[in-house]
Chains A and B, each alone.
Chain A
Amino acid sequence: MSKSTFYTSIGYKILMALSGLFLMVFLLQHLVINSLSVVSPESFNEASHFMGTNPLVQFLLQPVLIFGVVFHFIMGFFLDLRNRKSRTFNYAYNKPSANSSWPSRNMIISGITVLAFLAIHFIDFWIPEISTKYIAGDMSGLMNDGEFRYYHELHEKFNALPRVIAYVIAFVFLSLHLLHGFQSSFQSVGVSTNKTRSSFYKIGTIFAIVVPFGFITIALFHFLTQH
């Protein structure tokens, strides 16, 4: 591939789709681990400890994920700006609902909501994790009583109602993001055809409902079991 390939509208589109697909795989993985916290705190602790201390996960997958997220949202802002600039004088009367869905037209709005959540999530979980492990140097994953800390920390976090509410709102917007994003990414990379488009749409709708509402259910579970 030549250098200029990705500096075209289609090149951007493909990179956006690939980063989106990558984030969806990550999301699924995250959901599976979180679900363990509902069915078995022990397995959740073990999985968390593995993910949190395995060097491959920590020093390869984690940087790749951070890069993926940052790339995706910077590209999202860049493309949105570029697209706005292609029509600087708008219609006095426009009826976009006649031809396209709300989620498809407002990826930047659902994206920004998810981004705001990611910022909170970073402060909430990621920064404490990093400071415990790499600043305080405690890689044991244990609390003073010798038990794993992960389940305990997660359960505690969902004690606060504002956090649960923020969580629910963010995941509803993530659902909207994926309602369009899932099938859109297959169109962007050229996999979708007239025969398969409706299947991608159906699978995408299931994914966009099951995954975000899975996270919501887990949050509500932890909130309700301590109130």
Chain B
Amino acid sequence: MNLTLKIWRQKSNTDKGSLETYPISDVSEDMSFLEMLDVLNEELIEKAIDPVAFDHDCREGICGMCSLYINGEAHGPDRRVTTCQLHMRKFKDGDTIFIEPFRANAFPIIKDLVVDRSAFDRIQQSGGFVSVNTSGNTQDANSIPIPKDDADIAFDAATCIGCGACVASCKNSSAMLFVSAKVSQFSLLPQGQVEAKERVINMVNKMDEEGFGNCTNTGACEVECPKGISLDNISRMNREFISANIKK
């Protein structure tokens, strides 16, 4: 199929940037979206044009590195997939495809479609961990009984790959889905409960400090999240935040 791509080009963070139009032909419907961009980049290099910079790594939906806002949706029109898992069969011959970076002031643009999502790392570092001593006497995790339901919900929360699609889709650029997944993943398990109070307070404070917006429960994040992280996590985090502050 033949397509028209409208891609955001921006040389650097300080550059103004603009949408550029690139026609591309003979795209196979079996290609992944990123393979299609690889082909485009080869063509651009041959024409001595700077190739389009975009993030990617595993290309199998597990690392959270790929991003892209495709035709008005984070990770494109498909559900429960990352951009690297999106296939060109979702588009048809003659389509115009808009490709923009994830936009949020907390995710500054580095180049073209590449944005700096290190705000997520800093939120993680503020509390998204369990402190274990490495003396060698650490109790085996499997010896602690955990209700199956809790284990399942914690596991579901832990599938968040930190891609930032929730922030990109949210009209408020809120990071609540990401942060709540990270809070829930630990707070549901006995190992994580020890530090649950400080964790939720520190992570929420860090989230605010990084300039993410305020959640208004539109639910856009849950729909666009490639891992189907549930809004339940946000409600749980609100609950935990209240009780952590009462018991402080």
Contacts and interface: CB of A to CB of B under 8 A. Distances in A.
A57 B219 CA distance: 38
Contact of B242 (A14, A101, A104): A14
Interface residues of B, number: 51
Contact of A93 (B100, B212, B214): B100
Given A86-B172, A91-B69, A184 B235 contact: no
B123 interface: no
Interface string A88-116: 11111111101111001101000000000
Given A9-B215, A13-B238, A193-B232, A89 B223 contact: no
A188 B71 contact: no
A217 interface: no
Interface stretch (B82-90, B103-111, B132-140): B103-111
A5 B208 CA distance: 12
B231 interface: yes
A61 interface: no
A1 interface: yes
Given A86-B105, A100-B223, A184-B216, A91 B235 contact: no
A144 interface: no
A85 B242 contact: no
A85 B248 contact: no
Interface in A24-43: none
Contact of B234 (A14, A91, A187): A187
Given A8-B205, A99-B224, A190-B242, A86 B98 contact: no
A86 B212 CA distance: 6
B218 A104 contact: yes
Contacts of A87: 103-105, 171-173, 213
A189 B104 CA distance: 26
Interface string A59-96: 00000000000000000000100110111111111111
Given A9-B208, A10-B241, A188-B238, A104 B216 contact: yes
B217 interface: yes
19 contacts: A9-B215, A13-B215, A85-B213, A86-B106, A87-B172, A90-B103, A91-B69, A92-B6, A92-B8, A93-B98, A98-B77, A100-B220, A104-B217, A104-B219, A105-B218, A184-B216, A189-B238, A190-B241, A193-B232
Interface of A: 1-2, 5, 8-10, 12-14, 79, 82-83, 85-96, 98-101, 104-105, 107, 180, 183-184, 187-194, 197
